[in-house]
Amino acid sequence: MTRLKSSDICDIALRLEKYDQQLLKITGRTLVGIACHACNVDERTVRQKSPSFLIDVIPVTSGQGIITDFSKTVASILKFSGFNARVSDTHDTAGIVQAYENRSDAVMMADDKRFVGINLNNRCVADNSEVTGRVFAAALDLMAKGIKDRDALVMGCGPVGKAAAIALLSFNARVVLYDNRPEPARILQKSLSALAPENQVRIEEDLEKALLDCQYIIEATPVQNTIPEKLISGRMGIAAPGVPLGVSSKGCGILKDRLVHDKLELGVTAMAVSILTQKEETRS
């Protein structure tokens, strides 16, 4: 999991309106719309409920500590997306206590290992890695105007790539797995085989072949420039949750409006939609 730097996120709040319009142009949906597509919920219902859903964003000092602007940026994204969000004026444990005392509906907080949203009323949890994979797969489905029966390449078979692959299978795509190490791809293919018929998930060890075969790509690696410019075609569609971006600036120029990438916006919005709408899992 790549730790964000303040320089990665300090201008996000200022660019939200522009980014939202760009997403609308690329996918036909806004930040909230794509998040609703990822969570399979009705956007009108979410927009009716979100203004009264109070989310405390709690700074966490453990480990490597606070990232300047992180909590403020998360709260800005949530407010832009229609939620009643605020940065807690305390941190860590005191912030959690205050959220309960204020009867907030949810908290969002991140240490060095996990970034989660928790619904305090029904105990539902949204994990940033899982939700990010799912929401970028939803963006790719929208970009493709339905990814059903198309080959979708998932680059990077970690937690984000796994969630993206599961979501792509739910959209009935044919999933091609690639990782720069064979083991993670094999482990992921095995865990996906329970979800889909054998022929719907395959491993491709030759990246060049995978990029030639697949028009739609999830780039979920923590490495930059993983997709060589010479293999980028204008017909490609790329949804890239990986940080740093796996496409060079020249590659971005070739792709133009067929690339979705951000470092917090889609994942945070989808986390909030998820904890607002996810039904409490019945205890088995």
Indicate if the alpha-carbon torsion angle 86, 87, 88, 89 is positive or negative: negative
Report the nearest approach of ligand 2YC to the CB of residue 159 (Å).
10
Q: Contacts by 226-233 with C-beta closer than 8 Å and gap 24+?
A: 226/155, 227/155, 227/251, 229/254
Q: Name which of 232 and 239 has its Cβ closer to ligand 2YC.
A: 239
Strand stretches in 111-161, DSSP E = 115-119, 125-127, 151-155
Q: Who's near 212: CB < 8 A, 6+ residues apart?
A: 231
**Smallest distance from ligand 2YC to CB 163, Å:** 13
Residue among 1 and 254 whose Cβ is closer to ligand 2YC: 1
CB of 15 to ligand 2YC, least distance (A): 17
Q: Which residues bind ligand 2YC (CB under 6 A)?
A: 1-4, 59-60, 66-67, 70-71, 110-112, 115, 128
| Residue with tokens 């998040």, as numbered in its chain | 35
Nearer to ligand 2YC by Cβ, of 10 and 67: the residue is: 67
Shortest CB 200 distance to ligand 2YC, Å: 29
Whole-angstrom distance, CA of residue 36 vs CA of residue 276:
11
Which CB atom, from 6 or from 121, has the smaller least distance to ligand 2YC? 6
* Tokens of residue 269, six digits: 């919005």
Q: Is the Cβ–Cβ distance between 165 and 231 less than 8 Å?
A: no
Query: Would you say 184 or 244 has its CB closer to ligand 2YC?
Result: 244
- Shortest Å, Cβ 190 to ligand 2YC: 25
Among residues 151, 192, 148, the alpha carbon closest in space to that of 172 is found at: 148
Q: For residues 4 and 203, which CB has a smaller minimum distance to ligand 2YC in the complex?
A: 4
Q: Which residue is nearest to ligand 2YC (CB)?
A: 4
In the complex, minimum distance from the CB of residue 39 to ligand 2YC, in angstroms, rounded to a whole number: 18
